[in-house]
Structure 1
């Protein structure tokens, strides 16, 4: 089953889009950008994404990439 990573266009100011696109390029998941994920407070404060509808956040986009990758690996073992 292919995993889905979603992020908000409003969160791209943190570099979220550039950090997460490589996951899709590597075939690890589908990455989908939405105009809004209705998490405006969080979106304004920190890089975050949804991994199969579960929030993952980190202080930087680079750390978000690592956190999302970790979560994807955890899902593989389930």
Structure 2
């Protein structure tokens, strides 16, 4: 089972909606939301997620969504 982790501090970029969308859309994937993932420098730059521990960063939530789907 793959795991996708989101940082609450990154929600200003729209990642909360993305986390909810992925949780409802993907089977066999665990979507976690953490208070802080420790990627503060990356978090300040734009939307990101960790997919199986690997940092995925994008310029937009839509791009992040596509990159996560490709990674899985």
- DSSP-derived class of the 1:20 partner: helix
Q: Distance in 1 between matches of 2:28 and 2:58?
A: 20
Given that 1:49 and 1:57 are in contact with CA atoms closer than 8 Å, whether structure 2 keeps it comes out as yes
User: Aligned-pair distance for 1:21?
Assistant: 2.0
> What count of residue pairs does the alignment treat as equivalent?
71
What are the ranges of 5 or more consecutive residues in structure 2 without an aligned counterpart? Answer: none
Given that 1:20 and 1:31 are in contact with CA atoms closer than 8 Å, whether structure 2 keeps it comes out as yes
Q: Which runs of 4+ in 1 moved over 2 A?
A: none
Question: What do the CA deviations read for 1:1-41 (whole angstroms, capped 9, x no partner)?
Answer: x1100010000000011123222212251110000001111
User: Aligned-pair distance for 1:56?
Assistant: 0.5
Aligned pairs for 1:57-76 (under 5 A) are 57-72=57-72
State the TM-score, normalizing by the size of structure 1.
0.84
Deviates most, 20-29 or 35-44 = 20-29
Q: Distance in 1 between matches of 2:8 and 2:63?
A: 18
Structure with higher Rg: it is 1
